[in-house]
Amino acid sequence: MEEKLIFEMSVKGRHGVLPGGFDVPGESPGEVLPGVALRDDIEGFPEVSEGDVVRHFTRLASRNFGIDTGFYPLGSCTMKYNPKINEEIARLEGFARLHPYEPPELCQGALELMYELERYLAEISGMDAVTLQPAAGAQGELCGMLMIGAYFRDKGKPRGKVIIPDTAHGTNSSSSHLAGFKVVRVASEGKGVLTPEAIKSVMDEDTAALMLTNPNTLGLFESNIKEVVEVVHEKGGLGYCDGANLNALMGFMKLGEMGVDLVQLNLHKTFSPPHGGGGPGSGPLGVKKVLEPYLPLPRIVKEKALFSLDSERTRHTATVGRLKAFYGNFLVMVRAYSYLRCMGRTGLTRASEMAILNANYIKERLKGHFYLPFDTPCMHECVFTDRYQSEKGVTTMDIAKRLMDYGFHPPTIYFPLVVSGAIMVEPTETESLETLDAFIDAMKAIAEEAEKDPGLLKNSPGKTETARVDEAGAARNPRLRWVQGK
């Protein structure tokens, strides 16, 4: 079924249910509202009945692919299943209808939840203090880099550089740049992990921090992390870890015990709140004691069993200030808190075990069909390339498009950048053996098709609502407004 644009469904004079007349005698909108709040009819606005509007958007919604409709092998984003109990908790009236300006004495439950969540995240990561304020992982990164800058300025010795390996997340460089640092790139030297020697070659007394991702974007654990961070510490620098991939570490190890001084934790990834469509998210930042004075305000404090938000800058002269209105995306925190309380310590460990097991199962069953640049045990995700298929002219993009015909959302492609034609697969812990086997069978079938009928892949997908589109053309010449007859 081809769905028309709602503009194409328009019939002049057709409309939905209209309210009756005003029940306030003698007053019209123009008499009670300022002119700036009034507008005439929008030119070209579709005139459609209420029933047609509902059907139109319902049909469009049925075409959405989400974690509730199918498998997301989407590496780098941890598209976990979103437990429905979390949604129930977040919809409790006391949480959902809590006004940001509610006085602290009337929202003790919410403040206690955030206070406890900070403690849980500090325990999981091995940090001493946590702020929940950052609204996304990248903002958590920025918060950390701003704190690092303030720390060195307070010491009277500002530093200007940050070391970032080629296996780090792309936002790491952006966050460092926004915080005023110059980025020094360092290569993993073809081994997939950093070496102390590589860091020694670039570490100096103008370097404020090493910013790495662990497990890294290749899905590999940075096995030299303690030695690498020690190299940085020896010259007075700090160790920052991007914790977006914490889903592979929960319960096994604490980043703080590896020498890391700061880490951001993506609640909307590791701890199960949904984050499709660009948000909302939550990127709490955990720090060691030496950096606690620089955390943003307000801070949640507990005095004699009462909770409050401490916003007194005079008591926190070193703070980097405020990052987000109020205290961040609260209902994302509620969902994460629900997940943590449901899972408990053993449940979190089990989740990491299953995430690692699932990724290695896929790696082992597909490595003869797709090239595996690092044939070593992985953590929560594995990375293949299109090297075998490219001999027939089939690219990673073709493989991803064809996978849609088999009913699966494509994995992350062409990332990490250190691997040419990358296909990153992250199954997460929530997928069953039957789902993994169905995905593996589809990938094997695609590999066979690439060998026997590469043209089929070049013209895929063929079974979806929309055929293959020109992504480059859509990005460079987007149609943002509908025009009659065009």
- What pLDDT, on the 0 to 100 scale, is given for residue 277? 64
- What pLDDT, on the 0 to 100 scale, is given for residue 260? 97
- What pLDDT, on the 0 to 100 scale, is given for residue 343? 96
Domain 350-474 fold = Aspartate Aminotransferase, domain 1 (3.90.1150)
- What pLDDT, on the 0 to 100 scale, is given for residue 22? 64
| Domain(s) of CATH 3.90.1150.10: residues in the chain | 350-474
Say which residues have a Cβ less than 8 Å from residue 111's Cβ, sequence separation at least 6.
104, 300, 307, 308, 309
- What pLDDT, on the 0 to 100 scale, is given for residue 26? 64
**84-340 has CATH 3.20.20.70 classification:** no
pTM: 0.90
The answer to whether residues 404 and 461 touch, using CB atoms and an 8 Å cutoff, is yes
| Domain(s) of CATH 3.40.640.10: residues in the chain | 84-340
Q: What is the pLDDT of residues 260-317, one digit of tens each?
A: 999 999 999 999 998 766 568 899 999 999 999 999 999 999 998 899 888 877 677 7
Q: What is the pLDDT of residues 352-366, one digit of tens each?
A: 999 999 999 999 999
pLDDT in tens, the chain (486 residues): 678 889 999 999 898 877 776 676 666 777 778 888 887 767 788 999 999 999 999 999 888 888 888 998 886 567 788 999 999 999 999 999 999 889 999 999 999 999 999 999 999 999 999 999 999 999 999 999 999 999 999 999 999 999 999 999 889 999 999 999 999 999 987 789 999 999 999 999 999 999 999 999 999 999 999 999 999 999 999 999 999 999 999 998 999 999 999 999 999 999 999 876 656 889 999 999 999 999 999 999 999 889 988 887 767 778 998 998 888 899 999 999 999 999 999 999 999 999 999 999 999 999 999 999 999 999 999 999 999 999 999 999 999 999 999 999 999 999 998 999 999 999 999 999 999 999 999 999 999 999 999 999 999 999 988 888 888 898 898 877 766 666
Cα separation, 81 vs 446, whole angstroms: 26
- What pLDDT, on the 0 to 100 scale, is given for residue 447? 98
